[in-house]
Amino acid sequence: MGYTKTAILMAAMTALFMGIGYLLGGGAGLLLAFAVAAGMNAYAYWNSDKAVLRMHNAQECNSQIHPGLQRMVHRLADDAGMPHPKVYVINEDQPNAFATGRNPENAAVAATTGLLRRMSEEEVAAVMAHELAHIKNYDTLIMTVTATFAGAISMLANFAMFFGGNRERGGNFVVTLLVMILAPMAAAVVQMAISRSREYEADRVGAAICGNPLWLASALEKIQGFASRIDYDRAEANPQTAHMFIINPLHVHKRDKLFSTHPNTENRIAALVKLAGEERAATAVPVGRQNPWG
Residues recognised as catalytic: 131
What span, in angstroms and rounded, lies between the C-alpha atoms of 82 and 100? 15
**Main-chain phi, psi angles of 289, to 5 degrees:** -130, 170
Beta partners for residue 103, in sequence order: 106
- Neighbouring residues of 268: CB distance < 8 A, sequence distance ≥ 6: 199, 200, 203, 217, 220
Report residue 216 CA to chain centroid gap: 17
User: With DSSP H G I counted as helix, E B as strand and the rest as coil, what are the percentages for the chain, rounded to 5?
Assistant: 70, 5, 25
Q: Are 97 and 268 in contact (CB under 8 A)?
A: no
Q: Are 97 and 131 in contact (CB under 8 A)?
A: yes
Q: Give the closest residue to 110 by CA, choosing from 31, 200, 50.
A: 50
**Main-chain phi, psi angles of 253, to 5 degrees:** -100, 155
Q: What radius of gyration, in Å, describes the C-alpha atoms of the chain?
A: 21
